[in-house]
Amino acid sequence: RAKEGGRGTYHVFDPTMHQMALERLNLETELRYALNRHEFLLHYQPIVHLKTGKIQGFEALIRWNSPTRGLVSPSQFIPVTEETGLIVPLGQWVLKEACSQLREWQKLGLVDDSMSVSVNLTAHQFTQVDFCQQLDQILAETRLSPHHLKLEITESTIMDNQRSAQSILQQLKSRHISLSIDDFGTGYSSLSYLHAFPVDILKVDRSFVQSLDGSRENLGLIPAIFSITQAMGMSAIAEGIETAIQLAQLRHLNYEFGQGYFFSKPLPSEAVVELLKTDPQW
């Protein structure tokens, strides 16, 4: 019962909050079943080598094909799985699916030895004590060479877990699995961690790329981030390239790799096969 306390009275029962809590509970329950019911799938977005215009690899991006909600985007459910811990089995499924998919394309002769697959990891997944053992098992089962796998984490995953990150990243390094920092530039302002951790690739967040409009005034941090990668022996991937003008500017600035709707949206695996058959060059 609501208290009678004059101003500042609180309500014990707030119908909208109740509704939200119910909806959240439904979502959690549906997600828990979704894995066993095979409702998840991966789409793949090409990552393009800007000098040659050829596909260098694919980023695996999860989708949820829910019988009640339709195709749900990861930003709507990955945070929930992260909070409930469901991300651990789900993330293992993603890794295994992505590795076996690339292995299959290799066997079909659709991709050469330079082609890699990139998989996104949350902090919860990355800091599992047995993460590397799980990874070894998946690579052994799918028979994918670790050279062909790239992992993507964000700056905050490293910074919030500095001690465990150090040892996990060393273990990845010894396996020749390369590591990308996703959404680079949107997180921590300090760059010192780049020295302390073995990072191979910076993926420049699409917010930086989207302000490229052909003028020299709107380059923003794009040239500076490129200089950092050069100084530290890393590669740069520009995310979210949507226009020919953005692509031309990034090429002019010597960016090595790019990804975005200008080349292709993330595609279901059958569409990737069709794309690979045409051997595209942008």
Interface with Mg ion (CB under 5 A): 120, 152, 182-183, 239
Written as six digits, the tokens of 75 are 């930003």
For 151, phi then psi, to 5°, come to: -115, 140
Least separation in angstroms between residue 264's CB and ligand C2E is 9
Q: Which is nearer to Mg ion, 137 or 269 (CB)?
A: 269
Q: Does position 180 bind ligand C2E by CB under 6 A?
A: no
Q: Which is nearer to ligand C2E, 45 or 249 (CB)?
A: 45
Give the whole-angstrom CA distance, residue 238 versus residue 48: 10
Least separation in angstroms between residue 260's CB and ligand C2E is 3
Angle at 61 between CA 55 and CA 64, to 5 degrees: 145
For 236, phi then psi, to 5°, come to: -120, 135
Q: Does position 120 bind ligand C2E by CB under 6 A?
A: yes
Among 117, 121, 151, 238, binds ligand C2E (CB under 6 A): 121
Write the single-letter amino acid at 91.
G
Among 27, 31, 48, 94, binds ligand C2E (CB under 6 A): 94
Q: Which is nearer to ligand C2E, 109 or 187 (CB)?
A: 187
Q: Which is nearer to Mg ion, 121 or 247 (CB)?
A: 121
Bridge partners, 130 (sequence order): none
Give the whole-angstrom CA distance, residue 243 versus residue 241: 6
Q: DSSP assignment of 54-83, as one string?
A: EEEEEEEEEEEEETTTEEE-HHHHHHHHHH
Q: Does position 78 bind ligand C2E by CB under 6 A?
A: yes
Considering only the stretches 9-17, 67-75, 224-232, 245-253, report the one whose residues sit in contact with ligand C2E under the rule CB under 6 A: 67-75
Give the whole-angstrom CA distance, residue 73 versus residue 1: 39
